[in-house]
Structure 1
């Protein structure tokens, strides 16, 4: 889908606050609410807008420990390993990467006991897993920056 500057402005507004009413978006960009509704609908259908969600503070729901985990997976076993990783509740993100690690994960758990359990009881038992490096996140300086649209 080709995006014009109006589409990009709508996306910037929605990135800042996805709950912004179409009437408010329309007012800001000097357009009718119906036109904004149509444009947003087209961007949703085209997959430009992938969804809407509430951003929840993990600590407020008892999930105080996060870590990045680099994994090495044996060649030919990547698809099965990815299927198993998707089933692990603690896994929040899965990225296929170049370099030293085949896969980079972000895990969120209650505490270091939860991290140990995820690593030793779940991840290390995946067929094709050969080694890992775990980096506990001590603090986050920047998270969920809006895309530079």
Structure 2
């Protein structure tokens, strides 16, 4: 789906203020309410926007430690089965990807402190189908969920 400058402006507005009503978006963008409504519908249907919700920050409710866990799975068990089991058993898993390379999956996990992070990593290792894990603790988050620069880059290339 191709984006234009109005799409980018609408995405920026709702990224900065997810609870902003459609009418206020229209006022700030200088377009009709129906234009904003139809643009939002098109962005949703096109898979560009997957919902307008506040971003939850685990650090804000005590989960200050982030780790990245590489998982090797038992090749007799499928990735989807292991992913489902991990998602059901470990609520501290925030992101999960099947990856290429030496490992099969990469997880982003959170915990309140190092001791509880060890508990999370131990629980991951015990999930059926997990053969081996390796983890790294994030020392600092420079940014996360950064998509607006990409949207702006795509739109800047428009004639």
* TM, length-normalised to structure 2: 0.80
Alignment of 1:57-76 (within 5 A): 57-76=57-76
Q: Distance in 2 between matches of 1:97 and 1:134?
A: 15
User: What is the DSSP-based 3-state SS (H/G/I as helix, E as strand, rest coil) of the residue aligned with 2:96?
Assistant: strand
Q: What CA distance in whole angstroms lies between the structure 1 residues aligned with 2:81 and 2:47?
A: 27
* CA deviations over 1:19-56 (Å, ceiling 9, x no partner): 33333432343311121112112322333211122223
How far does the alpha carbon of each residue in 1:72-121 deviate from its partner, in whole angstroms, 9 at most, with x for none?
Answer: 1122412221111111111000011111221110001121222121121x
| Rounded Cα–Cα distance in structure 2 between residues aligned with 1:144 and 1:4 | 21
Correspondence 1:18-29 to 2 at 5 A = 18-29=18-29
Q: Does 1:82 align with 2:83?
A: yes
Query: d(CA) in 2 for partners of 1:2 and 1:55?
Result: 25
- Quote the residue 2:155 is aligned against: none
Match of 1:97 in 2: 99
For 2:15, the equivalent position in structure 1 comes to 15
Please report how far the alpha carbon of residue 18 of structure 1 lies from its aligned counterpart in structure 2 after TM superposition: 2.1
**Cα deviation 1:53-77 (Å, max 9, x = unaligned):** 2223423312121111011112241
Hey, what does 1:133 align to over in structure 2?
134
Matched, 1:118 2:120: yes
Q: Distance in 1 between matches of 2:43 and 2:91?
A: 30
Aligned residues: 148
1:2 Cα offset (Å)? 4.3
Structure 2 CA distance for aligned equivalents of residues 118 and 9 of structure 1: 40
8 A contact 1:15–1:146 mirrored in 2: no
Distance 1:98 1:12 in 2: 33
Gaps of 5+ in 2: 152-159
Q: Does 1:53 align with 2:69?
A: no
For structure 1, which runs of at least 5 residues remain unmatched after alignment? none
Distance of 1:31 and 1:52 partners within structure 2: 20
Q: CA RMSD in A?
A: 2.0
